[in-house]
Amino acid sequence: MARLPVALTIAGSDSGAGAGIQADIKTFAALGVYAACAITAVTAQNTQGVTDIHFVPPRSVSAQIDAALCDFDVAAIKIGMLGAADVADAVADRLGGLTTGRPFIVFDPVMVASSGDALSKEGFLDAVKAKVLPLVDCLTPNLAEAAALLGGAQARDEATMAAQGRALLALGSRAVLMKGGHLESGEAVDWLVTRKDARRYAGPRIDSTNTHGTGCTLSAAVAAHVALGAGLQDAVAAAKAFVARAIEAGRDVRLGGGRGPLMQMAVRGR
């Protein structure tokens, strides 16, 4: 019998299916990875904004994670929206108890939706820094998320991006992928910072308003490529290329009245 690589996404549900758990599952499927999932929150949102959030009880989040891990050979885990301190605690307790054969963990610390709507409660940052970050193999913050985690100003140049990546390592993650999509520059530049070195990834900016779910897709693609056997540096390069193709594929697609989603399912090949 053929065995598919498996990745688990722990994230919030987006009813518009542009970001969150839906973007993760589409990304895993496009890359040939089987997707298991644990839903942390149910959001009512579309391309124009978020109108309601219901956080799933921590006990249910834990049960979903247990159900996936006890039955599937999970090679990588992507964590997205956690939103509440007790949900972050529950996820950390479950993943912190894993010993032999622990999956590679990618954490996209989602705090604000693309529309600008807040997706986290008071106390969330403290819980993440105390319990989640020490478990993470690759943290993937955008510039605003990195600043929030560090309690400082948002980076406005590449040197500060790399410096903030090094500062975030001190919070426990083994690698930090600083996403520079919001940096004012002619290229889309990301920096992968580890305790050994820092590597720059650059690509052309694609003129498109359909970028809802870009961060979710990038972190999910990193997890998928690790599940497929790639090392982290190669996984990041492949994930960045995948996101660029998904943005290009959705550039002229009209879905909804606001910022539309990427087209992960239109991308063929890794």
- Work out the burial of residue 251: count CB atoms within 10 Å of its CB; fewer than 13 is exposed, 13-18 middle, 19 or more buried: middle
Give CA–CA dist 259/114, Å, rounded. 8
pLDDT confidence of residue 109 = 93
pLDDT confidence of residue 184 = 78
Give me the domains of the chain, ranges plus CATH numbers. 6-266 (3.40.1190.20)
- Work out the burial of residue 198: count CB atoms within 10 Å of its CB; fewer than 13 is exposed, 13-18 middle, 19 or more buried: middle
Low-confidence ranges of the chain (pLDDT < 70): 1, 113-121, 268-270
Q: How many CA atoms lie within 13 A of 259 on its CB side?
A: 17
Which whole-number Å values give the CA distances from 117 to 46, 110, 150, in the listed order? 12, 11, 21
pLDDT confidence of residue 124 = 84
Residue 63 one-letter amino acid = A
pLDDT confidence of residue 115 = 58
Instruction: Give the residue among 49, 17, 20 at the shortest CA–CA distance from 257.
Output: 49
pLDDT tens-place string over residues 148-159:
999 999 999 999
Phi and psi, residue 93, nearest 5°: -60, -40
pLDDT confidence of residue 161 = 94
Catalytic annotation, residues: 179, 211, 213-216
pLDDT tens-place string over residues 31-42:
999 999 999 999
